Chain A
Amino acid sequence: MENSYLIETRDLVKTYPMGEHTIVALDKVNLKFEKAEFTGLVGPSGSGKTTLLNIIGSLDSPTSGSAVVMGRKVEGLSHKQASALRNHHIGFIFQTFNLLPVYTVFENVEFPLLLLDYSAAERRKMTMVALDWVGLADRTRSKPAQLSGGQSQRVAIARAVVKKPALILADEPTANLDAENSHHILQTMERLNRDLGTTFVFATHDEKVIDYLRRKITLFDGAVAKDERMEPQRPGGEKR
């Protein structure tokens, strides 16, 4: 049954040397995620949410322990294999957007597709669909510098979902969004989750996000403090 998990961590530890001390960012984290989960990591600032997302996303490697993502041991991946995993299967939404500053909104969202084998016409279609989801189809030519924080956030979200990856790792995706936009985006994500079976893992403080979650994992000082299954609080979300 092991292979049925999309993500599985075993005694995952991440420490950072800090002078004479070491900072323990993750402390023996054991978690299993099934395909098509809609899960949030919550916990106070510094509790290790971003660190865990980074390791799952193969952007970072653990100090000890193991993380298996889609059947691949993250800590054993070569640089190229990790790149390929991210390229094909993972979409990131960063806490700090990380839009490419010289590209237009369209080019930013199209970017992940350039690395995959899509024709220009397919790319254009998929990009416009993603921009439609986040309500920015009319801003294709803008540059990131011309966007508000919330708009940038939405471009970052469109960029993460555009290639319809199996796994989307979203770090505070709604931090800069107003209530209306937050709900709209979350509903879009829910639909992707339901229609395509996309797995979402969030790191968040936002109550609005938490309301949509079906599983909530609370981290505290790098360790799993609580792991709860829950019913989405937002009936509207399920219906749409």
Chain B
Amino acid sequence: MIIPKLALRNLLGAGLRTWLNVVVLSFAFVVIIWTQGLYEGMNAQAERASVDAALGGGQYWQEKYDPLDVFSLEDAHAIVPDSLGAMIAANRATAILVVQGTLYPKGRIHPVMIKGIDPDQQLLSLPSHFLKTGEDRFPALIGSRMAKSTGLKVGDTVTMRWRDAHGTFDARDVEIVQVMKTIVPSIDQGQVWIPLDRLRILAGMEEEAGLVVVAQGALERPEAPGWVFRDLDFLLSDIKQLVRMKSAGAAILYFVLILLAMLAIFDTQVLSIFRRKKEMGTLMAFGFTRGRVIRLFTLEGALHGVLAAVVAALYGIPFLTWFARRGWALPEAMDSYGFAIGEKLFPVYSAGLVVATTLLVLVITTIVSFLPTRKIAKLKPTDALRGRMS
């Protein structure tokens, strides 16, 4: 009972020095949670954007379809089964046909996936309505990254070559009707979107598709022989993989921030504890055992962490809440992060993050206080009383 009382007394008695430490630590708290929240928000946003623009509520894949294996695409198409056809007719799904092809922008060769999509679909945020042109034009839709890497602009005409169902190559010119600004790389990089009907004709794949995207919220999962249903967990797994890889980077940032905060604490803690050698000697002279001295000074250090958590909560909660509501308008340059990023980023603070950060800071302040204290408490009281650094 006496130890906590004295620890608190020491802490508050030290006044400014304590509060300086506490403020530095609390700052570390808030910055860590803030940056990690932004980061988690970024990931959540990337996932949501992918779902909205490309993944829907899940996808039926023709059993040979594998977006990671370009050579499998040749065979990855089949007539849409009636069960899925019914869903498509009811606007609860939309078909996509994928054919391997090549663009020749300004004479250069650019391998692409030609994707046929229904210009009238509204189930994905992908702006397929730009493909609604007259029969006299042959529209194609690309993303901004694709536009950048091919040098194509709206209104440009480019030669597109594809391989049809019989393995024969054919080519024709298409007109870029729109460059869409999307944050989802999977519908942008190396993709050319054209109307589904026209691709079916060009490729000789009438009534066929490579995948059927189910609407978000459509719960039925009809049997479709020769087709496999891929749920969002599966479809998001490579995004999640990417997130996990990037998380290693984020963990380093997290670690560096903690380290910086700890350095500040360690510095003041070690200095003050060595400066307080004489004080420890005095405590021992009055009958404090070593264990008690160690407990007192360790608790005192750990209380810095507790106070910092309280102070951080005082200004951190309002700040972080305000920030989460307001979002963060990202500068253009952030796009080169190569990730799906929205115009505005909304941080996500998970309870796990807050708890883990708090615990980590507490544990580290405790250790940082314990180590130098233990060293001094090992001294003979007379040596500690002499009080000089050694």
Contact = CB atoms under 8 A, between A and B. Distances in A.
Interface of A: 54, 57, 59-61, 79-80, 83-88, 92, 94, 98, 100-103, 107, 111-112, 114-115
B288 A83 contact: yes
A98 B385 contact: yes
Given A86-B284, A98-B278, A98-B385, 9 more contacts: A83-B284, A83-B289, A85-B287, A86-B287, A98-B279, A102-B9, A102-B13, A103-B13, A115-B287
Contacts of A83: 284, 287-290
A221 B376 CA distance: 31
Contacts of A88: 287
Decide if the interface of chain B is mainly helix, strand, loop or mixed.
helix
B285 A86 contact: yes
A84 B2 CA distance: 16
Interface string B252-287: 000000000000000000000000001101101111
A102 B10 contact: yes
Nearest to A95: B385
Interface string B365-390: 00000000000000011100100000
Interface residues of B, number: 23
* Among B9, B10, B285: residue with most chain A CB under 10 A: B285
Contact of B381 (A59, A100, A112, A114): A59
A92 B279 contact: no
Contacts of A102: 9-10, 13-15
Given A94-B385, A114-B2, A100 B289 contact: no
A100 B282 CA distance: 8
Contacts of B281: 98
Contacts of A54: 382
A101 B279 contact: yes
B286 A92 contact: yes
Contacts of A107: 9
A220 to B, nearest CB: 22
B6 interface: yes
B285 A92 contact: yes
A79 B384 CA distance: 14
A112 B286 CA distance: 6
29 contacts: A54-B382, A57-B285, A59-B284, A59-B382, A59-B385, A60-B380, A60-B382, A61-B380, A79-B289, A79-B290, A83-B284, A83-B288, A84-B287, A86-B285, A87-B286, A87-B287, A92-B285, A94-B282, A94-B285, A98-B278, A98-B281, A98-B282, A100-B279, A100-B282, A101-B13, A102-B9, A103-B13, A111-B286, A115-B287
B2 A115 contact: yes
Contacts of B382: 54, 59-60
Nearest to A104: B13
A38 B2 CA distance: 34
Nearest to A84: B287
Contacts of A80: 289
Contacts of A111: 286
Contacts of B279: 98, 100-101
